[in-house]
Amino acid sequence: MSESVPRYWREIKIRERLIGSKCEDCGRITFPPRKVCPYCRSRKLTEVELPKKGKLLSYSVVRKPPAEFEKYAPYVIGIITLENGVNVISQLTDIDLKDVKIGMELEGVLRKYREEGEEGLIHYGIKFRPRIK
Amino acid sequence: MKPLREVGILGFGGYVPMYRIKDEEIANVWNAQTSGLPVIEKAVPSQDEDVFTMSYEAAKNAIARAKISPNLIRAVFVGTESKPYAVKPTGSMLVTSLGLDNRSLAAEYEFACKAGTEAFQSAIALVGSGMLEYSMAIGADIAQGRPGDELEFTSGAGAAAFIFSKKSKETVAFLEHSVSYVSDTPDFWRRQGQKYPQHAGRFTGEPAYFNHIISSVKTLFEETGLKPSDFSYAVFHQPNTKFPLRVGEILGFPPEKIKPGLLSPVVGNAYAGIVPLGLSATLEVAKPNERILVASFGSGAGSDAFSFVTQEALEEKKNLAPLVSDYIKRKKYVSYVTYALYKGKIPR
């Protein structure tokens, strides 16, 4: 299913820069960003760019994905604990299934997520790969 | 050519995809000779990579070495012949993804393999004229080559980004002089809507590659009074292993001055990305107060020649981001079938 162009446009910054929201009342950071803090119900939230380094907390191997992700299968979806303690869900890239280890050091890189056929938009976002340096 | 105020490289960064295919593997598929192959192996991008994603990573590395907030950069020029969209600028995509100021210039340059250094000239001119304080030029390509064609043995992938500012103690090298030299020479072309380029075989050598590089470099020598012995390193366009060494020999540069930036044997020809990448790799081994000659070549045809002189800040900034050599060491070999799948040569 392709997204609407306005929705894609609204989410570019969130996906490509990992923009989350920080609650000015309780200090908790959430990703993706929220209008209302899920912890204290505050509406005083500001945008914050999340760090791109973290560790793999858990993962799952996707072997039967939706049609637009088929060319990447089998691939790994991981929960990554970033350096500031926030957990994000993301696809892993540049890695073989056999090399995926819980606790491994990862870093965020910009990659293609999916393409709306040959003529539509290309969707990009942050994926995580084993840290180079 | 030289700008009104002195311009330097504030930050630089390269990127090479992880996958590799050996030329021997390609030769075996096409029953070609496995001796005298043009390169040893070439970089193959993953299925989720394109010129935008490769440019992004090179730019991130350049920003880390520049040690400035990205929103100070007010121009992003991408030199490439394989941009993701025929109409939709990669430059504006980079402005948003890197968190640059929206009050920026953004555009693509196309001049076959010299589009990256073409972007250098414009980025340097904006800073040199005082219109901007910081500009970024990127050379990036996922080179195309028809299956079985000579180009398939060399068409690699890679990107490198350079951030220019006025010359200061923070710049890692400053621009001493530059020359651009072009003529209508039909050695290599790709028509609108076509997936793979055409080339004129042996004609790509003497009248195209050698004539244009020799002309731009000799003009640079004439205009500056410099000679080959004044340079510690030389980076020439590298469509294969032989041409840059041969043009160096003609111009008076021994192989040891060329080899630090000679990446095509292990990365392939990353078209508009290969000379900027070769310059990145050379900066990573250079010491302060050394002179580097850079001479690109783009089919169609032309050459940009530059003389850069390294500065003290280079030593401190080298290790602020992954080195080109780190990316070259990080490799995984793939078979021809996987390569063909990743490059979209066979449908999935």
Contact between B330 and A132 using a beta-carbon 8 Å cutoff: yes
Domains B7-171+319-342 and B173-315 share a fold: yes
Q: Is the pLDDT of residue A67 over 90?
A: no
User: Tokens 């350079």 appear where?
Assistant: B162
Question: How many residues in total does chain A contain?
Answer: 133
Using an 8 Å Cβ cutoff, are B142 and B195 in contact? no
Indicate the pairing of strand B300-310 with strand B173-185.
antiparallel
CATH 3.30.70.1380 assigned to B173-315: no
Q: Which residues of B touch A12 (CB under 8 A)?
A: 96-97
pLDDT digits (tens, 9 = 90+) for A77-96: 999 999 999 999 999 999 99
Q: Which residues of A touch B348 (CB under 8 A)?
A: 70-71
- Active-site residue, selected from the candidate residues B41, B108, B113, B118: B113
Q: Is the pLDDT of residue A43 over 90?
A: yes
Interface residues of A toward B, Cβ cutoff 8 Å, are: 12-13, 16-17, 49, 70-72, 93-94, 96, 109-113, 122, 124, 127, 132-133
Band of pLDDT at residue A3, cut at 50, 70 and 90: confident
Burial of B146 (0-12, 13-18, 19+ CB in 10 A): middle
Residues forming a β-bridge with B103: none
* Rounded CA separation A85/B22 (Å): 42
Q: Is B81 assigned a catalytic role?
A: yes
Q: What confidence score (pLDDT) does residue B48 get? A: 97
Kind plus residue range of the DSSP H or E element containing B127: helix B115-128
- Nearest to B68, CA basis, from B142, B166, B188, B159: B166
Contact between B48 and A13 using a beta-carbon 8 Å cutoff: no
Nearest CB to A94: which of B18, B85, B97?
B18
Q: Is B118 assigned a catalytic role?
A: no
Phi and psi at B298, nearest 5°, equal: -125, 135
Q: What are the pLDDT tens digits along chain B (348 aa)?
A: 999 999 999 999 999 999 999 999 999 999 999 899 999 999 999 999 999 999 999 999 999 999 999 999 999 999 999 999 999 999 999 999 999 999 999 999 999 999 999 999 999 999 999 999 999 999 999 998 899 999 999 999 999 999 999 999 999 999 999 999 999 999 889 998 888 888 887 788 899 999 999 999 999 999 999 999 999 999 999 999 999 999 999 999 999 999 999 999 999 999 999 999 999 999 999 999 999 999 999 999 999 999 999 999 999 999 999 999 999 999 999 999 999 998 888 876
Q: What is the ipTM of this complex?
A: 0.96
- Give me the mean pLDDT over the A11-30 stretch: 96
The residue type of B168 is S
Using an 8 Å Cβ cutoff, are B270 and B327 in contact? no
pTM (2 decimals)?
A: 0.96
- Nearest to B99, CA basis, from A17, A108, A8: A17
Domain locations in chain B?
7-171+319-342, 173-315
- Nearest to B137, CA basis, from B233, B49, B45, B12: B12
Q: What's the CATH superfamily of B7-171+319-342?
A: Thiolase/Chalcone synthase (3.40.47.10)
Nearest residue in chain A measured CA to CA from B99: A17
